[in-house]
Structure 1
């Protein structure tokens, strides 16, 4: 995840929980009770040790920064949950769109080079253009 964006990046190595709750509270500027409350609301899901101790990751800290931005903008906790969910879904859809665009480009490159597609209708061949551009017979 790019820490500046506050959004999830599945390729990020920062998902591993390494910070205890007191360190996460200090780094984020939130109190320990607030971190627990955000977990209760589903805004955060820190990892847990085998003994049940919360472990916060860099991803969690970036998410806390995004939560702080939304609180400053006047959004309540339920609204923050909706915004975070929509941002995550948007990121997923953008990744899907990039993959589909790459797949489409690959498929177009594999098509017969004699075929020209205008992307607004059926495929046309160069001969179709010649017939269309020819003056009418009199």
Structure 2
């Protein structure tokens, strides 16, 4: 009988969804301001988790999304439009991934679908 390994504290460093970054650090990492992060939060592009003290905390995945929106805003796109574009890009990427997965499964010999 094997026993599962208990989670290690360092496992959180590899988790793209772990809310590791404070607002100030997150803004610094993507080259924006805390106000920009609040704005993309208000546009519902990303929804930061809250610490026990009520402070916003961001994951690496959320920062990548916010950074993409920032690129669009820097190119002159209004923030609401930038958020909508990023959401649509994310949905398209997911649909393409699922499509490829379905094609791979259908191409496997002996699979019935």
Interval containing the TM-score (normalised by the shorter chain):
0.7 to 0.9
SS in 2 for 1:55: strand
Render the CA deviation track for 1:55-114: whole Å, top value 9, x for unaligned: 1111122122211211122211121122111111111111211121112112xx228xxx
* Cα RMSD after superposing both structures: 1.8
* Partner residue, 2:81: 79
Cα distance in 2 for partners of 1:15, 1:93 equals: 20
Structure 1 residue aligned with 2:46:
44
Runs (4+) of structure 1 exceeding 6 A deviation are none
Gaps of 5+ in 2: 1-13
Larger helix proportion of the pair: 2
Unpaired stretches in structure 1, ≥5 consecutive residues: 1-11, 112-138
SS in 1 for 2:21: coil
Aligned residue number for residue 110 of structure 1: 110
1:110 alignment partner, SS class: coil
Contact kept? 2:40, 2:66, Cα under 8 Å: no
Is residue 27–residue 37 contact of structure 2 (8 Å, CA) maintained in 1? yes
**Number of residue equivalences:** 98
Higher Rg of the two aligned structures: 1
